[in-house]
């Protein structure tokens, strides 16, 4: 029997695989088809129940071929805990038969799946990627950075400067102020590009010094992140549910 994790993006998949490898949990598989089928940061039109339902339906139809015991659903928190859990419950209840609802992260519920004349029993749990009940993968990566980050950290001064100027401008220009979500992505890109990219790598910066090449980063210099940071303890506890 195997256990499968459904993730939101390609970068989530790569990061979670790295954590699983770090913990030596060989019996956990990460779905190779993220809910958002783009090599970027988020769903182009936002995450919704339909996208998750489509992925769960595809997995359900493969139960004849795959002996799956448990499914984990990992989404970004984004400060929307209740909304995300409701979205997961909506999708799960649409695809499977169950008398239970997920009420909190890291707790299994039991579901049944009828495929043709066969019935399958599964367990499902979810986790919301976060730092202190907010954020997403990039927020986590920013928090667990392990190298000096003078270039990226100085962006705080830049951000304050921009906000002060925009706040003194028209209401329309104030809308240009970066959200925490946007800033975390910007910070991470600069950390990878300027704080941790070697002189040799800079000669191929687009391929070796960008979050869009996250696979290269995790294969060649995973040490720029601290996979033992305590902020990951709850996530590791969730992963161990599936070992």
Q: Kindly report, residue by residue over 21-66, the tens digit of the pLDDT.
A: 999 998 899 999 999 854 444 454 567 788 899 999 999 999 988 8
**Residue ranges of the chain with per-residue pLDDT less than 50:** 38-42, 44
CB atoms within 10 A of CB 169: 10
Q: Report d(CA 144, CA 227) in Å as an integer.
A: 7
Q: Note the pLDDT of residue 218.
A: 96
Q: Note the pLDDT of residue 165.
A: 86
Radius of gyration of the chain (CA): 20
DSSP state of 24: T
Q: Note the pLDDT of residue 13.
A: 96
What is the model's pTM?
Answer: 0.92
Q: Note the pLDDT of residue 40.
A: 42
Q: Which residue has the tokens 């921009």?
A: 162
């Amino acid at each position: 029997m195997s256990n499968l994790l459904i993730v939101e993006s390609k970068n989530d998949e790569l990061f979670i695989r790295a954590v699983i490898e770090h913990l030596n949990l060989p019996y956990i598989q990460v779905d190779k088809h993220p809910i958002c089928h783009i090599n970027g940061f988020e769903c182009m039109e936002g995450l919704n129940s339909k996208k998750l339902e489509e992925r769960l339906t595809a997995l359900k139809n493969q139960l004849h071929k795959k002996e799956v015991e448990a499914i984990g659903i990992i989404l970004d928190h984004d400060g929307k805990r209740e909304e995300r859990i409701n979205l997961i419950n909506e999708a799960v209840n649409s695809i499977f038969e169950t008398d239970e609802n997920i009420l909190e992260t890291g707790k299994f519920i039991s579901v049944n799946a009828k495929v043709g004349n066969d019935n399958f029993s599964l367990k499902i749990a979810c986790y919301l990627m976060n730092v202190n009940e907010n954020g997403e993968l990039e927020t986590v990566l920013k928090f667990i950075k392990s190298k000096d980050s003078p270039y990226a950290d100085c962006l705080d001064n830049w951000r304050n400067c921009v906000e002060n100027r925009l706040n003194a401008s028209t209401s329309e220009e104030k809308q240009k102020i970066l959200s925490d979500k946007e800033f975390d992505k910007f910070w991470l890109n600069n950390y990878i590009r300027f704080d941790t990219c070697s002189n040799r790598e800079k000669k191929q910066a687009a391929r070796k010094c960008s979050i869009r090449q996250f696979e290269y980063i995790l294969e060649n210099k995973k040490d720029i992140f601290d996979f033992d940071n305590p902020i990951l303890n709850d996530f590791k506890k969730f992963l161990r549910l599936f070992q």
